[in-house]
Amino acid sequence: MVDIGHYLILSTVVFTIGVIGVLTRRNVIIILMSIELMLNAVNLNLIAFSDHLHSLSGQVFAVFVITVAAAEAAVGLGIVIALFSNKETVNVDEIDLMKG
């Protein structure tokens, strides 16, 4: 029987890996994937809790999180395409038209 702490620690690790990905990668798409990683860590949390609490709402929550993840991915990639068709780049550090 693995206690909840392990799952929490695992999810924090995954979460922060995702964060680091967001902070470091230049490629917008990979950044999006890192965000998916973060959401995944969230799901891990939810499921672990729902198991520990014997409450299913965690799992329902996870379902919604996945839904939202899908929606975000769709919109995000749409934006990426629009951007790419205008700027011919998907590197975030070349996107600095507006600053100051």
Partner 1 sequence: MLEYLWLIPVLPLLGFAVNGLVGLWKVSRTGKPQSKPFVYSVACGSVFLAFSLAVGCFWSLIQLDPHDRIIEQDLFTWITGGAVRTMSGDLANLHINWGMQLDPLSAVMILVVTGVGFLIHVYAIGYMADDEEGFYRFFSYMNLFMFMMLTLVLSNNFLVMFVGWEGVGLSSYLLIGYYIHKKSAGDAAKKAFVVNRIGDFGFIIAIMMIFSYFGTVDFTEVFEGVEAIFPTPELMWGPLSWIALLLFVGAMGKSAQIPLYVWLPDAMEGPTPVSALIHAATMVTAGVYMVARSSAIYSRAPDVLLIVAGIGIFTALVAATIAMFQQDIKKVLAYSTVSQLGYMFAALGVGAVAAGVFHLMTHAFFKALLFLGSGSVIVALHHEQDMRKMGGLKKYLPTTWWTMGIATLAIAGVPGLSGFFSKDEILWRSFSNPQGHILIWIVGVLVAGMTAFYMMRMMFLTFHGEERLLPKVAHHVQESPLVMTVPLMILAVGSAIVGFLGLPAWLGPNIFEHFLEPAFATHYQATEEVHHYAHSTEILLTVFSVTLAAMGIYIAYYFFIRHKEKSTWWVEKFRGVHQLVYNKYYVDETYDLLFVNRAKDTGRFLSAFDSNVVDGFVNGSATITRISAWISGQADIHIVDRIVNLIAEIFEYSSSLLRKVQTGLVQRYALFFVIGIILVISLYLYLGV
Partner 2 sequence: MESILFYILAGILVVFAILTVTAHNPVRSAVYLISALLATAGLFFLLEAEFLGAVQILVYVGGIMVLFLFVIILVNVREMEAQRRASRQWKTAVVLGVVLSCEFIIFVVRGADIFSAEAMNSSLVVGTQTHNTESVGRLLYSTYLLPFEIASILLLVAMVGAVVLTMKEH
Partner 3 sequence: MSELPQITNLLEFFLFNGRAIGPQLHLILWGLGLLCVDFLIPKNKSRVGAFFATGGIVMSAIHLYRLWGDTQPSAFYGMVTLDSFAIFFNMLFLVSALLTVVMSYRYMEVEEEQRTEYYALILFATSGMMFMAGAIDLISLFIGLELMSIATYILVGFLRRNKRSNEASIKYFLLGAFSSGVILYGMSLLYGLGGSTNLSEIASQIAGLQDNTLLYLATFLIIAGLCFKIAAVPFHMWVPDAYEGAPTSITAFMSVAVKAAAFAIFLRIIFVVFADSREMYSFVLAVIAMITITWGNVAAIIQPNIKRLLAYSSIAHAGFILMGVVVGTRSGVTAVAIYLLAYTFMNLGAWAVMILLRRQDISGERLEDFNGLFFKHPAIAILMLIFFLSLAGIPPFAGFVAKYFVFASVIESIFTEGGGNTSILIWLVLVAALNVVVSLYYYFRIVVAMFVKEDYLPVGVSFSGGLVLVLVITGSLTVLIGIYPQPFIDLAREASQSFL
Q: Using DSSP, state whether 5 is helix, strand or coil.
A: helix
Left, alpha or beta for 54 (phi > 0: left; psi -120 to 50: alpha)?
left
What are 26's two structure tokens?
């230049």
Residue 1 touches partner 2, criterion: CB under 8 A: yes
Binding residue for partner 3 (CB under 8 A) from 9, 20, 31, 93?
31
Pick the stretch among 19-27, 37-45, 52-60, 72-80 that binds partner 1 (CB under 8 A).
Answer: 19-27
Residue 33 touches partner 1, criterion: CB under 8 A: no
**How many residues would you count in the chain?**
100
Binding residue for partner 3 (CB under 8 A) from 24, 58, 91, 93?
58
Binding residue for partner 3 (CB under 8 A) from 17, 76, 91, 93?
76
**Binding to partner 2 (CB under 8 A): which residues in 50-79?**
50-57, 59-60, 62-64, 66-75, 77-79
Pick the stretch among 7-15, 41-49, 77-85, 89-97 that binds partner 1 (CB under 8 A).
Answer: 89-97
Contacts of 87 (CB under 8 A, 6+ apart): 94, 95
Half-sphere exposure of 78 (CA within 13 A, CB side): 6
